[in-house]
A and B are shown apart, each in its own frame.
Chain A
Amino acid sequence: MPELTDKIREVARSLLRQQKVDLIIGFERGTMPLRSAPCFVRREEDVDRLIWDSFCENNLAKYLVKRAERVAIVGKGCDVRAVVELIKENQISREQVFIIGVPCQGMVDRRRVEAKLDGREILEVRETGGELALKGDGFSEIVNRDEFLYPCCKSCTHRNPVISDVLVADAAAELDCDSHVDVAEFEARSAGERGEYLSREFSKCVRCYACRNACPLCYCQECFVDSSWPQWVGKTTNASDVVVFHIMRAFHLAGRCVDCGACERACPMGVDIRRLNRKLVKDVKARFDYEAGLSLEQAAPLSTFRPDDPEEFMLNP
Chain B
Amino acid sequence: MTVPIHYFLVLAAALFATGAVGFLLRRNLLVLLMSIELMLNAVNLTLVAFNRLHPANHAGQILSFFVIAIAAAEAAVGLAIVLAFFRLRGSVRSDEATALKN
- A and B bind: no
